[in-house]
Amino acid sequence: MKEYILLFRHENANGKVSPEQMQQWMKQQMDWVGSIAAQGKFVSGTGLLFDNAKVVDHHQVVTNGPFGDIKETLGGYIIVKAASADEAAAFAKGAPILQGEGNTVEVRETVNH
């Protein structure tokens, strides 16, 4: 069994989503992750990330980010166990974030030592 990271990318929705809608999406996210965990395939990850990030460049300069004017941001991730990339992509198809127009889930195999 291999491990895959599912990266949730979303269009910037600042001010466009009501607190009620956000709460509903968070419940859907928890239910979806719970369904993967019930299969014994959830490894780690919260599924959600705060927007108060820092970016460190190759000159070791630290800046605040992500910035609100960018079109797409990294919204979260989880790591799952799957027999193949296709199985991991099947998990990704159920991600609630895909309800938003332009949102995506990137699936990548991780390197395990």
Beta strand pairing status for 2-11 and 42-44?
Answer: unpaired
Q: Encode the chain (113 residues) as per-residue pLDDT tens digits.
A: 999 999 988 876 555 667 888 788 889 989 999 999 999 999 998 767 776 788 888 899 888 876 655 566 777 899 999 999 999 999 999 999 888 888 899 999 998 76
Number of folded domains that form the chain: 1
Determine the structural domain holding residue 90 and report its residue range.
2-109
Q: What is the CATH number of the domain that holds 12?
A: 3.30.70.1060
Decide: helix, strand or coil at residue 4.
Answer: strand
- Its pTM stands at 0.81
